[in-house]
Amino acid sequence: MIPSRIESIPVIFSDAMQMRCPVIAMPVGDLPPLLAEHRCGVLAPTVTAAGFAQALRQALATAPADFAAGLNTAASAFDVAATARDLAALLERNM
């Protein structure tokens, strides 16, 4: 659950993706496009307690398997080891 009212991409999002754990998030920062692209959780309709409660109800009514494909693509996009390898290769080329 990511109840943030102001956020870009919280670290807990990438941690959840690595653990293949769907998220319930407020519609702030980069979270709306990430959840739309990967379908890896439920986005609250508004940045309110009522909106968050609605998203929680929706998540509880959704089968976990419905998030599996999106969690896999998001986990790949936020793979720390792959990102570190890419950064190392980039730095090596620019030395």
Q: Structural domain boundaries of the chain?
A: 11-93
Chain segment 40-72, per-residue pLDDT in tens: 999 999 999 999 999 999 999 999 999 999 999
> Average pLDDT of the chain?
94
Report the pLDDT averaged over residues 71-76: 96
CA distance 26 to 55: 9
Taking phi first (over 0 means left), then psi (-120 to 50 degrees means alpha), and beta for anything else, what does residue 41 get? left
pLDDT at residue 7, as a whole number = 79
